[in-house]
């Protein structure tokens, strides 16, 4: 069968809960469908965070850092080149400086020259600045050779990461990663920025206990001032918003809304024409995150880090403007690449019953931009609802079969991408030069000459774990709204009820509507005036990247959103799917 979409309404939970006192029946049902049946699960105060001490290795990490701060050793942060890496680096830099560290620097590998992680080449580059301690953020758990190189050079290494580890761990002086073996931390979903935030909390506790702040006459830093940055990295990395992560994001959003956030985030919101006073988690994911990521995709993530480190509003504004320009350039490149990918797939019949048809899609073009393949993979995955890997040349200047290609993978629910790649590597030794990642996203490197062999092995593994049900693109709906619920009041309640995000989805509804008006805006978006069937009232709606419809009556899945324009707030439908 080919993949298709289907709207399924979430079951209305009859499980007894204690939300009756504070929530409407509608909100009780929405929360219950997401596993929330107790007031405690909606308590987003910082006191409800899982304790710092629950993380394996964090005491040793705090000792390493405390010694480095007290002895004024040179601490170098080695970061990943995405938004999580940039925010992780910023949190570490700001926190260490606030705690009295005077010799703190950072290094972000250029993805086009050095690739991902603490490689031996990056360590050699870092050693030129003579660091005493390297701290990895959002990477390092797979950097066995890089850590060994550092140790041989006499450099201590603290690995802070959240990616899934391989069977062998690096021989670092300390490792903090909730996903490492024998770690009892209750939340395995911390982003890299969440991990380093916890490490900084542990460091502050260690320095406070030793009397460091009193001795140096340093005010004990309030690390909650960094939560706007923690929230940004957590949302941008699309980690599951379990209760612990919702606390971090909720607290960060509160700081931004109150005007107590860093100059860089304010500047990025400004170029994205987003009002900080009314932002929600999705604004961090769709407005701020892409502009920050654009630096790492096209140039150098140092630009994004400097924007987040800036305290001067004018400096932050200039850097944000450059990031906005890069993001526009990224969109143009992405559009061309996506069109090419769709052309390649136009004549492919995706039938799971046909053993010759691909279950997962492997795409490559020698002209593609290495920094943008991840977005293209995500777009194609959303369109076809299949695991997708988009590849680009690792070095565009090399034109031989021995050249390496780098792939960025995006998966669907029910297919653990890293496990699939692990199975490919186990069944075909030497096929993959390197790989790593999560359930839903991963990266890999292989020889161009092995592309066809990899594609075959990839699909062979997928056929063993994918069935028709997994390939059915299910849109889960919270049901149909009553006519009187198409209101600004409910729209405001839903916005405030988050933070919504990965594994804690924003409420989605479905229903039948008559089309009153329609027109195309911005060349490719469908603007509608709809009337709920049986109602006398109309409501504005918009469907992004959708052409005009021919039916006078539609069944749609939609979010009830609040639109702000010229200071006026109105309710509108954000259409996610129009059933054909």
Please, which pLDDT band fits residue 1 given cuts at 50, 70 and 90? very low
Q: What percent of the chain has pLDDT over 90?
A: 81
CATH entry 3.40.190.10 includes domain 476-579: no
Contacts of 149 (CB under 8 A, 6+ apart): 120, 123, 124
Burial class (CB in 10 A: 0-12, 13-18, 19+), 133: buried
Give the model's pLDDT for residue 472: 87
Specify the CATH architecture of the domain 49-324: Alpha-Beta Complex (3.90)
How is residue 297 written in tokens? Answer: 């995709």
CATH entry 3.40.5.10 includes domain 348-466: no
Give the model's pLDDT for residue 438: 81
Average pLDDT over the chain reads 92
- Asked whether the predicted pLDDT for residue 580 surpasses 80, the reply is no
Identify the weakest region by mean pLDDT among 5-19, 190-204, 384-398.
Answer: 5-19
Please, which pLDDT band fits residue 3 given cuts at 50, 70 and 90? very low
CA-to-CA dists, residue 543 to 353, 518, 529, 551, 559, angstroms: 33, 11, 11, 15, 11
pLDDT in tens, 399-458: 565 789 999 999 999 999 999 999 999 999 999 998 888 888 899 999 999 999 999 999
Give the model's pLDDT for residue 21: 62
How is residue 249 written in tokens? Answer: 């994001």
How is residue 448 written in tokens? Answer: 């161009």
User: Per residue, what are the HEC states of 27-41?
Assistant: HHHHHHCCCCCCHHH
pLDDT in tens, 40-63: 999 999 999 999 999 999 999 999
CA-to-CA dists, residue 164 to 141, 419, 437, angstroms: 8, 10, 6
Please, which pLDDT band fits residue 396 given cuts at 50, 70 and 90? low
Nearest Cα residue to 163 out of 184, 198, 203, 136:
136
Give the model's pLDDT for residue 221: 97
Please, which pLDDT band fits residue 358 given cuts at 50, 70 and 90? confident
**Number of helical H runs and strand E runs in the chain:** 19, 17
Give the model's pLDDT for residue 2: 42
The domain locations on the chain are: 49-324, 348-466, 476-579
Nearest Cα residue to 45 out of 201, 224, 213:
224
Give the model's pLDDT for residue 20: 61
User: Per residue, what are the HEC states of 289-324?
Assistant: HHHHHHHHHHCCCHHHHHHHHCCCHHHHHHHHHHHH
Nearest Cα residue to 442 out of 414, 416, 403, 462:
416
Nearest Cα residue to 509 out of 537, 534, 527, 487:
487
Euclidean distance between CA atoms 137 and 370, whole angstroms: 22
- Asked whether the predicted pLDDT for residue 170 surpasses 50, the reply is yes
Question: What is the dihedral sign for C-alpha 324, 330, 334, 336?
Answer: positive
The DSSP code sequence of 330-352 is HHHHHHHHHHHHHHHHTT----T
Give the model's pLDDT for residue 399: 57
């Amino acid at each position: 069968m080919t993949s298709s979409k289907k709207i399924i309404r979430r079951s209305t939970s009859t499980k007894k809960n204690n939300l009756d006192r504070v929530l409407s029946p509608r909100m009780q049902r929405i929360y219950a469908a997401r596993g929330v049946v107790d007031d405690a699960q909606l308590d987003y105060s910082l006191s409800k965070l899982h304790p710092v001490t629950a993380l394996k290795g964090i005491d040793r990490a705090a000792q390493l850092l405390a010694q480095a701060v007290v002895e004024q050793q040179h601490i170098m942060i080695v970061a990943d080149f995405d938004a999580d890496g940039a925010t992780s680096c910023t949190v570490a830099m700001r926190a260490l400086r606030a705690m009295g560290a005077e010799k703190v620097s950072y290094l972000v590998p250029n993805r086009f020259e050095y690739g991902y992680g603490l490689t031996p080449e990056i360590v050699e580059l870092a050693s030129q600045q003579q660091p005493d301690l390297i701290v990895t953020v959002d990477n390092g758990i797979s950097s066995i050779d890089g850590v060994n190189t550092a140790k041989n050079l006499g450099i201590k290494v603290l690995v802070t990461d959240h990616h899934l580890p391989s069977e062998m761990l690096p021989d670092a002086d300390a490792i903090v990663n909730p996903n490492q073996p024998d770690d009892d931390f209750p939340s395995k979903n911390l982003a890299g920025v969440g991990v380093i935030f916890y490490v900084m909390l542990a460091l502050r506790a260690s320095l406070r206990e030793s009397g460091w702040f009193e001795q140096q006459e340093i005010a004990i830093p309030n690390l909650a001032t960094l939560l706007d940055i923690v929230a940004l990295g957590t949302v941008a990395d699309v980690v599951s918003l379990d209760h612990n992560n919702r606390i971090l994001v909720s607290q960060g959003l509160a700081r931004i809304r109150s005007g107590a956030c860093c100059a860089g985030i304010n500047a990025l919101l400004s170029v994205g024409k987003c009002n900080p006073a009314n932002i929600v988690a999705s604004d961090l994911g769709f407005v701020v995150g892409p502009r920050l990521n654009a630096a790492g995709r096209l140039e150098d993530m140092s630009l994004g880090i400097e924007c987040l480190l800036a305290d001067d509003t004018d400096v932050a504004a200039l850097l944000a403007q450059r990031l906005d320009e890069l993001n526009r350039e990224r969109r143009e490149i992405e559009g061309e690449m996506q069109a090419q990918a769709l052309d390649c797939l136009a004549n492919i019949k995706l039938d799971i019953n046909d053993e010759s048809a691909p279950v997962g899609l492997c795409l490559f073009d020698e002209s593609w931009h290495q920094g943008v393949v991840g977005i293209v993979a995500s777009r194609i995955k959303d369109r076809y609802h299949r695991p997708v890997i988009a590849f680009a040349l690792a070095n565009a200047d090399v034109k031989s079969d021995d050249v390496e290609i780098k792939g960025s993978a995006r998966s669907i629910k029910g297919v653990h991408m890293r496990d699939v790649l692990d199975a490919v590597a186990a069944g075909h030794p030497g096929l993959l030069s390197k790989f790593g990642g999560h359930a839903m996203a991963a990266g890999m490197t292989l020889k161009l000459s092995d592309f066809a062999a990899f594609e075959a092995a990839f699909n062979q593994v997928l056929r063993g774990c994918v069935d028709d049900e997994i390939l059915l693109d299910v849109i889960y709906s919270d049901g149909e709204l009553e006519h009187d619920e198409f209101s600004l009041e409910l729209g405001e309640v839903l916005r405030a009820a988050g933070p919504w995000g990965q594994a804690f989805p924003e409420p989605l509804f479905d229903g039948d509507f008559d089309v009153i008006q329609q027109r195309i805006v911005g060349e490719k978006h469908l603007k509608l005036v709809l009337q709920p069937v049986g109602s006398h009232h109309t409501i504005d709606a918009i469907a992004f990247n959708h052409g005009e419809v021919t039916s006078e009556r539609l069944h749609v899945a939609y979010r009830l959103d609040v639109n702000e324009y010229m200071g006026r707030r109105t309710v509108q439908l954000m259409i996610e799917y129009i059933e054909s």
